[in-house]
Amino acid sequence: MARSQTRSQTSVSPARAEGRASSRLKVDDWIDAGLELIAEEGLRSVKIDRLCSRLGVTKGSFYWHFSDLQGYFDALAEAWAEEQRSSHASLEALRDLEPEERLASMMRHLTGPRHWILERAMREWARWDADVAGQVRASDRSIYREVRRAFLDAGLPPKEAGLRARAAFVLGVGFVHVAERAPTEAETRENEHILELLMRA
């Protein structure tokens, strides 16, 4: 889905005219800056002043691309959902791995520092934004399907595979909410051991 904002061509405010004249930034540049801020400092860090300082432009440039901060947040949420779809598509490339190895690789992919922080921020955001909550649920369904497929490929019957996939998924989401940072290498190995127990039980 393209990252774009609808702009009126019949009326351009002075602030937007200033933004057009002073900057060649694209919508994607603003989106990338916002996602970087979230990954570094969390959702509350995303302010117009912070974004402009990071990109070296005036507020006029921001308002040329976005009607207001809410419009910007809407674009951020859409961009995150797009990034998630791309990330989940890459998980399909792991299907040639043995189920146990596949689950471990998926976990490492999904708990990298940037991914982990964005995941945490989006889940917090989803508590009060229904649209974001829908995007998070769609992401969850996609991951759950891949986890369940690994258990099925390990030879478990469908009902048992579903139960174990749900347990693995809930453990993962719980870790995101409880932990204050992305997992260390040692913690990642411990989590992989939990997955092994779920696979072999």
Task: Name the strand (E) or helix (H) holding 86.
Answer: helix 69-91
User: Does the domain at residues 84-200 carry the CATH identifier 3.10.450?
Assistant: no
User: Bigger pLDDT: 24 or 137?
Assistant: 137
| Domain ranges for the chain | 15-66, 84-200
Q: Where does residue 153 rank: exposed (0-12), middle (13-18), buried (19+ CB within 10 A)?
A: middle
- The whole-angstrom distance between residue 160's C-alpha and the CA centroid of its chain comes to 29
pLDDT, one tens digit per residue, over 127-143 is: 989 999 999 999 999 99
Is the pTM of the predicted complex or chain greater than 0.95? no
Could you give the percent of the chain with pLDDT greater than 90?
39
Instruction: Give the type of residue at 38.
Output: I
120 pLDDT higher than 80: yes
Share the mean pLDDT of the chain.
81
188 pLDDT higher than 50: yes
pLDDT, one tens digit per residue, over 108-118 is: 877 777 777 88
pLDDT of residue 164: 92
pLDDT of residue 201: 63
15-66: CATH topology is Arc Repressor Mutant, subunit A (1.10.10)
pLDDT, one tens digit per residue, over 73-106 is: 999 999 999 988 888 888 888 888 999 899 888 8
Residue 76 CA to residue 122 CA, distance in Å, equals 10
Residue 146 CA to residue 124 CA, distance in Å, equals 24
pLDDT of residue 11: 35
